[in-house]
Amino acid sequence: MIWSNLKTKHYAVRERTILDLFDETRGDDFSVETAYMRFDYSKTNIDVPTRKMLITLADDAGVAARRDAMFSGKKINETEGRSVLHTALRNLDGSPVIVDGIDVMPKVLATLERLFIYANEIRQSNITDVVNIGIGGSDLGPAMAVQALSPYQNGLRCHFVSNVDGANIADVLCELDAKKTLVIVASKTFTTIETMTNARTARVWMKKNGGDISAQFVALSSNLEKTAEFGIPPERVFGFEDWVGGRYSIWGPIGLSIMLAIGSYNFRDFLRGAEEMDRHFCDTKGAANMPLMLALTGIWHRQICGFISHAVLPYDQRLVLLPSYLQQLEMESNGKSVTMDGSSLTLESGPLVWGAPGTNGQHAFYQLLHQGTTVIPCEFMIAAKGHETELSHHHDLLVANCLAQSEALMRGRSLNDARALLVDKFNGPELCRQAAHRVFSGNRPSTTLMYPKLDPFTLGQIIALYEHRVFVEGVILGINSFDQWGVELGKELAMALQPIVIGKQTADTKDSSTKSLVAYLHRQRI
């Protein structure tokens, strides 16, 4: 019933302009502010009755109960029979989290301490470069965070290899000194085909160039047998439990490259930021809950309004990888077509997520955002101040651009206003023609997340905020946000195709397209 009521509401207000909702208080009334950041969703078509219905939707879906079940260690990943406890990795206060009758926190904190000790040892050694080999969550998260927190780096250079394309690892290794390079191999099972292919290539390179494999390789894995076979001693293996999914794993051993880049003190601040967002998510109700309102805004735009995508637009060059990170987080989590009980999802699933940092995006795809035929909700992010105090005028211009874009999306420009701008340059039919090209429909929704400064604590807050947003949306849709069966089929077929590609098997069993492409491939290799 509530879904149909929301659809009816959307139908009733779809022609209403967002600007018509504004009075002196809307900016505050439709924002959520914590001690550390402010989320503004006032530039959307959500009004007080709509917000009330959306909160009722979350209540009816049992978001609070499901949240409490997640934090307490219940096995809410029902298709895999697992708990979902990435939040335990940043539970620095160590309050008990029980899984199968056992408090997991002592082991979590012990592993974290081992990581801190190891990271400090490496930072004080002759190692100058770190190569993190992973894929998906074991690559996107660390790579994004290291880039985002570059002002806090001091010494070690971190490089990331994920693509099985040989160009990726070749381009990274070619300028490094094998004797001064640490290689991190990040794979829970230590069998991930792309990661292990790259790891073996790195091992050959290190041996050939005078490095010590036993001392300069570290594994982030739970498979001690495989890591030993590879040549990595157990003291340089850091495992993690099956209740930590790849795209949620940045907080534990997968974050080793971040620790090495920014130090254990700053990494602890990173965890503290996420922990603080966890507290806020658990302790705050209704419209004052930031992850809840971010999620409900997303539900309104995707499932109710029918907007197929949203753009993530951080006005911070150091967050250049954040759209890609959130792309995996949201699309792998909520890109589902089956509900928890195995029935078909009758609603639209998660949106297409994309974006780029401003102001670069303004000169690339903002034309589509402003004047394209498809409405794309935008999610802006901006820090109140930058790190480069001597370049504060740059940051002032950056902030001005960010705020101006959200205003322009909302306000637009009428034909009459466009004509008035051109009346001194054109007249008659040409004035009308030229003015038509300068019309902006406006009424395009956006949200803005603003925070004091992009530091480790704030980055932890942002990532945890979006993790919880994905969780809430998944609960409301009735899907499992913590499995990814859609990733597996392609991997299975790739394994089956490899012998055909190298010519050890024929392609006779394959479709005509695959068969002819393989034939062309072989002709080109002769």
Which residue in 304, 338, 64, 443 sits closest to 296, CA to CA?
Answer: 304
450 sits in which H/E element: strand 446-451
CA distance 465 to 318: 18
**How far are the Cα atoms of 168, 174, 427, 466 from residue 177, in angstroms, in the given order?**
17, 9, 68, 38
Tell me which residue of 190, 108, 74 sits closest to 482, measured CA to CA.
74
Catalytic residue among 332, 379, 467, 473: 332
Catalytic residue status for 363: yes
| Distance (Å, whole) CA 271 – CA 227 | 28
Beta-bridge partner residues of 353: 310
Contact indicator for 18, 375 with CB cutoff of 8 Å: no
Instruction: Please give the structure tokens belonging to residue 421.
Output: 């701008």
Q: Which position among 15, 24, 175, 363 bears the catalytic label?
A: 363
Which helix or strand (DSSP H or E) is residue 148 part of? helix 137-148
For residue 468, what are its two tokens?
């919880």
Q: Is 491 among the catalytic positions? A: yes
* 332 tagged catalytic: yes
What are the residue ranges of helices labelled H in 41-99? Answer: 48-61, 63-72
Residue with tokens 């902006």: 440
HSE-up (13 A, CA, CB side) for residue 50: 25
Angle of CA points 436, 42, 346, to nearest 5°: 90
Name the CA radius of gyration of the chain, rounded: 25
CA distance 76 to 85: 10
User: Coil, strand or helix: which one is 478?
Assistant: coil
CA-CA-CA-CA torsion sign (338, 476, 320, 271): negative
The gap from C-alpha 310 to its chain's centroid, in whole angstroms, comes to: 13
Residues annotated as catalytic are: 332, 363, 491
